[in-house]
Amino acid sequence: MILKSNSQLQWFVRKLRPLLRAHLLSVSLIVLSSLMFLLDPLLIKWLIDKVLPKRDIRLLLLAAGAFLGIYVCRLGFSALAGMVSFRTVQNLVFRIRLDILEHMNLLSADFHESTPIGEKLYRMEQDVDQVAELGSSLVPYVLQTTFNAFFVIGTMFFLDFRLTILLLPLMPLFFVFRRRFEGQLRQASDSAQQQSSRESSFLQEHLASVIQIQLLRRERSQVQAFLERASARMKALNHRTLTETLFRTCYMAVIALGTIATLGYGGYEVFVGALTVGGLVAFYSYLARLFDPLNAAVDIYSRFNRLSASIRRIVEVIEKTPTVSESPSAMHFPSSSRGCVELQRVSFSYGKATPVVDGLELKLEAGEKVALVGVSGSGKSTITKLIARLYDVNQGAIHIDGIDVRDVRLESLRTNVCYLMQDAVLFDRTLKENLLLGKPSATNRDLFGALETADLGELISCLPQGWDTPIGPKGNFLSGGERQRLALARLVLQNPSVLLLDESTSALDAPSERRVFTNLVERFADKTIVFVSHRISALKWVDRIVVLNGGIVEEQGTHDRLVGNGGLYALLHNSPAPAGGQGFYPISSENI
């Protein structure tokens, strides 16, 4: 069995089941068409042995008519079967792709942050196409092959028992070759798919960052890297074809042996009168047809290998359980949460790396405005991601309004706690459509209010088509600062109880950032806001500043108190700024 794991087979059968009726139809048509195909040699035998010697023109016309009938039926059935099977394939592609898309939507940040998009796309596109095409043709193909084999062997026994007995031992040879090549074929198939996916991941990343590559003047080295991947892929594909060809050639040698035996021994039987000439011709035609199904079995075998490699890759994604998942007893926040956030002895690390957060204790009161500061890499983003439950803590717990975030329905959590990252993620749609993603039912007044809060009120009048201006792929038609503020306006529309702003105003000038902060505090006076900004001076006014260092809270308090303490915060605040004495960081480690 090539599909080693039961779950892979089960998954495939489950996908195929709804299409069973279409399958049965296409299988019946295929069987009918092959039955027509198998009647040929018998008709030829009749023609040679009975019609030609009698020189009867009526019988000859009857034979020609029978041939015509057989061909018309054969072509008709096979054309119909082709159409039905094409529709089945498309249906299967659609179902599997939808399944993967829905499952990808469930998977957590760890998967999405560590898997290249090219890799995910390869599984959704090439692997799905392979599974649908090979998979849906496999069942009719296997049935047709089995049917043909039985029909042909039966008729051969009927035509010449001894000759058939002579030929049958050749058949097990096929299985000997199969066993001999099994491992090699599978390995070659897996490696070809892996290399193809590696190449497409590389291309995907390259195409998404061509401008950056031009700026770095790394076009040549990228082409070199592409060549390396492309040649590895070519090698793997060539190796796969070579292995398959070798297998096929060995197999064809068996067919040649069979043909020689038939012509030699069959010819002798005609000499001694044990077989008619028509019988020999019919037997010879059936021999080719006997090897047809066996040949097809070889083909089925390599198809099956490719199919199982693709199924394995799809099932790998489909069966991946999201690391952040909803417990069956998860609940909604009562109405809208108050926004009291409590981190209790929280420890967390990415993979097996050293902990980024180590026994952190932190409580944010409902409605409090808190700044998270610390040098770059001190874990500010990680903490905000943990609160938004993009990742789950390794130890400890995070409570919101006294409820562990792991016990809250993800939908409810994401309605009440919103995390905005530094790199604003916008979509290739119009400005209005981007905003409506925050609140589909928003009125124009809501939208305008949100833009005002994000200090983007004037943007509409500057854009050629106002609300309906397309903002380009990833929002490229806007400036960096505009993109960030548009994402912020979208967050404003979501109206959460806890706002986590992770350097989400980093591209703004200081006065503009200040205006945005003031607007936010005014609009979300009773909501909890966590500000992460590299501009410490912009955050002096918050209720509390929390200074992180090495995964724990180093100190916390108001700006004046922390400056008075003369600790890490004072150092960060007083470090020389590039312009305007604003207190920028990260600062060099010697400063600390």
Ligand X SMILES: Nc1ncnc2c1ncn2[C@@H]1O[C@H](COP(=O)(O)OP(=O)(O)O)[C@@H](O)[C@H]1O
* Residues forming the site for Mg ion (CB under 5 A): 381
User: Residue 262 binds what, of Mg ion, ligand X, none (CB under 5 to 8 Å, by partner type)?
Assistant: none
Q: Tokens standing for 576? A: 């020389």
Specify whether the CB–CB gap between 320 and 112 falls below 8 A.
no
CA distances from 549 to 61, 132, 372, 533, 569 (A): 97, 53, 11, 15, 10
Taking the complex as a whole, the smallest distance from the CB of residue 378 to ligand X amounts, in Å, to 4
Tell me which residue has its CB nearest to Mg ion: 381
Q: Which residues are bridge partners to 341 per DSSP? A: 364, 400
Specify whether the CB–CB gap between 341 and 361 falls below 8 A.
no
Q: How many CB atoms lie within 10 A of CB 238?
A: 12
Taking the complex as a whole, the smallest distance from the CB of residue 380 to ligand X amounts, in Å, to 4
Specify whether the CB–CB gap between 99 and 127 falls below 8 A.
no
Smaller CB separation from ligand X, 113 or 316 = 113
Of 576, 580, 560, 556, the residue nearest 568 (C-alpha):
556
CA distances from 506 to 130, 138, 393, 500 (A): 45, 56, 27, 14
Taking the complex as a whole, the smallest distance from the CB of residue 507 to ligand X amounts, in Å, to 16
Taking the complex as a whole, the smallest distance from the CB of residue 455 to Mg ion amounts, in Å, to 22
Amino acid present at 391 = Y
User: Residue 350 binds what, of Mg ion, ligand X, none (CB under 5 to 8 Å, by partner type)?
Assistant: ligand X
Q: How many CB atoms lie within 10 A of CB 321?
A: 8
Smaller CB separation from ligand X, 489 or 536 = 536
Taking the complex as a whole, the smallest distance from the CB of residue 75 to ligand X amounts, in Å, to 59
Taking the complex as a whole, the smallest distance from the CB of residue 251 to Mg ion amounts, in Å, to 60
Of 312, 292, 461, the residue nearest 2 (C-alpha):
312
Give the Cα separation of 425 and 488 in Å (integer): 10
Smaller CB separation from Mg ion, 384 or 412 = 384
Taking the complex as a whole, the smallest distance from the CB of residue 373 to ligand X amounts, in Å, to 9
Q: How many CB atoms lie within 10 A of CB 560?
A: 9
Taking the complex as a whole, the smallest distance from the CB of residue 379 to ligand X amounts, in Å, to 4
Specify whether the CB–CB gap between 149 and 244 falls below 8 A.
no
Smaller CB separation from ligand X, 335 or 354 = 354
Taking the complex as a whole, the smallest distance from the CB of residue 382 to Mg ion amounts, in Å, to 8
Smaller CB separation from Mg ion, 381 or 484 = 381
Give the Cα separation of 75 and 549 in Å (integer): 77
Smaller CB separation from ligand X, 297 or 373 = 373
Q: Tokens standing for 144? A: 């047709």
Smaller CB separation from Mg ion, 381 or 556 = 381
Exposure pattern of 421-460 as b/e (b: 16+ CB <10 Å)? bbebebeebbbbebbbebbeebeeebbbbbbebbbbeebb
Q: Which residues are bridge partners to 553 per DSSP? A: 548
Of 398, 379, 387, the residue nearest 549 (C-alpha):
379
Burial of 283: CB neighbours in 10 Å, binned 0-12, 13-18, 19+: buried
Give the Cα separation of 41 and 29 in Å (integer): 21
Give the Cα separation of 581 and 246 in Å (integer): 74
User: Residue 356 binds what, of ligand X, Mg ion, none (CB under 5 to 8 Å, by partner type)?
Assistant: ligand X
User: Residue 258 binds what, of ligand X, Mg ion, none (CB under 5 to 8 Å, by partner type)?
Assistant: none
Give the Cα separation of 547 and 342 in Å (integer): 16
Smaller CB separation from ligand X, 184 or 549 = 549
Taking the complex as a whole, the smallest distance from the CB of residue 324 to ligand X amounts, in Å, to 13
Smaller CB separation from ligand X, 333 or 531 = 531
CA distances from 398 to 241, 345, 413 (A): 55, 9, 12
Give the Cα separation of 203 and 231 in Å (integer): 14
Specify whether the CB–CB gap between 67 and 307 falls below 8 A.
no
User: Residue 113 binds what, of ligand X, Mg ion, none (CB under 5 to 8 Å, by partner type)?
Assistant: ligand X
User: Residue 374 binds what, of Mg ion, ligand X, none (CB under 5 to 8 Å, by partner type)?
Assistant: ligand X
Q: Which residues bind ligand X (CB under 6 A)?
A: 113, 350, 356, 374, 376-382
Taking the complex as a whole, the smallest distance from the CB of residue 350 to ligand X amounts, in Å, to 3
Taking the complex as a whole, the smallest distance from the CB of residue 390 to ligand X amounts, in Å, to 10
Smaller CB separation from Mg ion, 383 or 405 = 383
User: Residue 41 binds what, of Mg ion, ligand X, none (CB under 5 to 8 Å, by partner type)?
Assistant: none
Smaller CB separation from ligand X, 116 or 457 = 116
User: Residue 38 binds what, of Mg ion, ligand X, none (CB under 5 to 8 Å, by partner type)?
Assistant: none
User: Residue 240 binds what, of Mg ion, ligand X, none (CB under 5 to 8 Å, by partner type)?
Assistant: none
Smaller CB separation from ligand X, 186 or 380 = 380
Amino acid present at 289 = R
Taking the complex as a whole, the smallest distance from the CB of residue 379 to Mg ion amounts, in Å, to 8
Smaller CB separation from ligand X, 342 or 358 = 358
